[in-house]
Structure 1
């Protein structure tokens, strides 16, 4: 099938300058990847398959954190009144790594990391991975039951968490025999069965006074296991995508590659890199924040500003006070900044780039970022199984194709396959998107069945329906996977449906996504009640909220007198259900 795409309407609203593009996309790519250039490539064997890689990429996360010491007194993180330099952060990382080694953590051991964005998050992440252990970033919004699954499935030997997460973890600790070591940050109450992180490192303002010591010895190769990020499937329990050091380190140069494109397309030389201040508001347990952002910032020497929780006006205060240059993450952030009634009260002129992925964005948003903030808009596509960045574009290329997520970076390949996976489709036709490259995860942890289904000869079957244009720009047109994306958070319909089915009054249920201007989508449910049973919308919402993270709770629930419509194969015809909510409006 073909899809002409709606980009033509947006192009009429943004008129490219007369001299743009000054250089073709193909020529820019050739310039950036030429021998001797920062983005030069070479071919290596990964799992026996020849694969293009960035020749100049740092080989491991250990190498990245060691190199970050060169940034010295440059601020690494800002959180409220806490300011931590790269040197202080490294000293804390080395001290924590040595403590973990004393606790028996060795190469290949899994160590969970569950906390909100705090200065100790990157310290813990690099301390774990610098030992050759596998970091398991856990969704901090998960319930105790969900945390129990992630910790048990990964076989985590230790956990580093904040006090909020410890309340939940302590409830399930007795059911996790592999969990030997628990370290808790910012705990005010006495701990039973855990040690305070501050007793190991001190508070963040004291990290600069820690001993100047090296990381413990570790033998780590680029393709060794580094991380397990959990992502849900359309059925069953979440799956852990196993990433290598190469997978995550690839993103450092991939992000820089995308940013270098815009000036060259104008016929200008890219500016000399310089440290920026970034308001990083998306959770670090997402690959977008961890892999596509934080790890690269350690190479560039950027300063990351964290927030306790997202609030648009507080974000504007921070942007003004800290002279923030970059922000974004998901489209929701940009929408709320643009539409906030107090926006005119703050000086946001320091913003240079607002970039995001993780959720579809309206073309209107791209134009407004450019027109109202005077900042460059940027977008990209990736997924947990690709450790984030596969495609991307910024500035004029994004304004010119606002419904595209950009072309693949030079070390990545995309192809569009027929839905049965038997043939590659030509340019312009819609099919399932497959991705290949050094960023692709090694497979799913302890799930050979799911790995065999989704990872085919090194290619990741994304489950997204997409098309490619003549220049290789990718357009995601739909999702084959039954999923709602709310502000960058994946909500798998079957998971919520299964919880609804557990309610004694529910005999049939389906979850769909309703369009939302800022969040992209919100979950809604259609329910048929069993004969003689009754339940209200509020009752069912409370039922789900008691069992799943809050962002998975349907914002609206419609009731139908009949069982839900299905096709001949018994699959619910979800496209027929959205009309129920339009009628309700």
Structure 2
């Protein structure tokens, strides 16, 4: 996801920047800084003494650590927090369980602040218990992609060197061998029985003991969330407690701003009931569950995405907010149309994790008028969630935009062209401090004055809205999941019958993009290789969403420029012409 909003304007060489909650225009080296034009209600939220005032670049009255953030939700008591297919958990039950697990991690396992705790579960209620137990214990939570293969898990585990694994029974076979080799213990949720080195999760919900007595400071690391880079290898994006605390406040600000834009008083409506379909390890999910927790709302979960079942859950639980990737949102709206379901309880349809096709807003408005508010935005793993928000009437009027920044995020366009398009760069409270154990990658990602290079091409429109134009990075976003082309290319090139390979993204009406590949076969060893054999080869080594849906097999050289770079535009045109299975 991607972040935004700022405290003061700053311009780099040849760039232009915009401030989140207002700002001033200024001329810097290379051109004019165009500041965001604040809506008239922004000052009511960000002025001195207001709920979202900013001091020294951070929210003045917001939490400073995730421990501070989660301790406050205990006050919601018997309100229902988590709803799964077979269980409900109130805020008090959740908090007591998280405290109990935190005490176990500190006492029984001897973990100390700074130790890493890997979390690899489906969207069970216990995922939330495990994540927040790590925060209460001062540990660094490392949520890993639950869809990864054993090899993919192994790479991340080697990289972050955790001292405990918190996994469910489905993930256990994929981490078992690594845990035994490194003598790292684990706790299993929803497992079938005892296992060497892994103890079953036994809830400890004593309401009188509270969290362990450990010190958690804003400067300490809170999370490592893995994302892939242009090398194709996952990188661990490290966020401090202060950064994640800022990310937890951002959605509250956006919700308040949206309420004022509608002419309502923020915080006066009912608590949200959110059907959140993002996998919890995905940074887009953080934005969603932070918002629900801050408001004392309810988080409704699905074990596996199914549009028909989603409609049933919306009706059963009177869901008010839907949150998911554009793919699932489109499928939900289509299923509602087919079933004649009016989505009577729904007031917000929020998408993230991938660019939203403009058709989502048009279809929503055509069928439901303005009753259901559309929301989209922009964020990255490196910004700890959404930092730009696009909502309501403004989103309907400009469906191709990405929105405006939060008060603690600055945005600028580096080296804009004649149309104002250049690389989007960000700076602010919720940005990561760098990549785990990778100083070279950290230096490459940040400018000397602290701006994060997103790798996205964007422009700032005249009234301060950011519009994302394209990506500089060679990446496919398939249904909200990032697929880095070089990683898939490397696996294809490992096949003995493959001489060369190029992976690219093609437009898809539901997924947004699908993965495609052009493969050149070796003259001496490629006789029996076909597209299905290549898909099987990739599927055995990478997660299913990374397997190319379409593969063009050829014996001719792949087109490259004089420096050796693949000319993927030419390859894409071949698929457009109907080639590739």
TM-score between the two structures when normalised by the length of structure 1: 0.89
Residue 434 (1) aligns with residue 434 (2): no
Partner of 1:163: 169
Deviations 1:321-371 (A, max 9, x none): 111011122111210011227743545211110111221111111121233
Q: How much is the aligned-residue C-alpha RMSD, in angstroms?
A: 1.8
- Higher-helix-fraction structure: 1
Whole-angstrom CA distance in 2 between matches of 1:211 and 1:264: 39
Deviations 1:541-576 (A, max 9, x none): 000000000000000101233111111111001011
Whole-angstrom CA distance in 1 between matches of 2:267 and 2:62: 20
Partner of 1:513: 505
3-state DSSP class of the match of 2:171? helix
Where do residues 323-362 of structure 1 align in structure 2 (5 Å cutoff)?
323-340=318-335, 343-346=338-341, 348-362=343-357
Partner of 2:482: 490
Change (3 A) 1:155 1:427: farther
C-alpha displacement of 1:172 = 2.7
Q: Residues 475 and 482 of structure 2 are in contact (CA less than 8 Å); yes or no, is this contact kept in structure 1?
A: yes
Alignment partner of 1:194 out of 174, 194, 198: 198
Q: Residues 138 and 285 of structure 1 are in contact (CA less than 8 Å); yes or no, is this contact kept in structure 2?
A: yes
Whole-angstrom CA distance in 2 between matches of 1:32 and 1:471: 19
Alignment partner of 2:411 out of 411, 414, 431: 414
Partner of 1:128: 134
C-alpha displacement of 1:36 = 2.1
Q: Which moved more, 1:87-96 or 1:527-536?
A: 527-536
Alignment partner of 1:481 out of 462, 465, 473: 473
C-alpha displacement of 1:33 = 0.6
Partner of 1:49: none
3-state DSSP class of the match of 2:454? strand
C-alpha displacement of 1:428 = 4.8
Residue 184 (1) aligns with residue 175 (2): no
Partner of 1:578: 572
3-state DSSP class of the match of 2:354? coil
Q: Which moved more, 1:372-381 or 1:301-310?
A: 372-381
Partner of 2:233: 237
Alignment partner of 2:395 out of 394, 398, 412: 398
Alignment partner of 1:54 out of 51, 59, 65: 59
Whole-angstrom CA distance in 2 between matches of 1:438 and 1:172: 35
Q: How many residues align?
A: 539
Whole-angstrom CA distance in 2 between matches of 1:336 and 1:26: 33
Structure 2 segments unaligned to the other structure (5+ residues): 1-13, 16-36
C-alpha displacement of 1:132 = 1.2
List structure 1 segments (4+ residues) > 3 angstroms apart after TM superposition: 265-271, 425-428
C-alpha displacement of 1:273 = 4.8
C-alpha displacement of 1:310 = 0.5
Partner of 2:255: 259
Partner of 2:273: 277
Whole-angstrom CA distance in 1 between matches of 2:496 and 2:421: 41
Q: Residues 530 and 553 of structure 2 are in contact (CA less than 8 Å); yes or no, is this contact kept in structure 1?
A: no
Deviations 1:370-398 (A, max 9, x none): 33243110011010011112111210111
3-state DSSP class of the match of 2:274? strand
Whole-angstrom CA distance in 1 between matches of 2:130 and 2:484: 29
Q: Residues 427 and 470 of structure 1 are in contact (CA less than 8 Å); yes or no, is this contact kept in structure 2?
A: no
Whole-angstrom CA distance in 1 between matches of 2:221 and 2:231: 26
Partner of 1:5: none
3-state DSSP class of the match of 1:399? helix
Whole-angstrom CA distance in 1 between matches of 2:272 and 2:322: 11
Deviations 1:99-128 (A, max 9, x none): 000201100000000011001011111111
C-alpha displacement of 1:584 = 2.4
C-alpha displacement of 1:286 = 1.0
Where do residues 92-131 of structure 1 align in structure 2 (5 Å cutoff)?
92-102=97-107, 103-131=109-137
Where do residues 5-154 of structure 1 align in structure 2 (5 Å cutoff)?
25-43=38-56, 52-102=57-107, 103-154=109-160
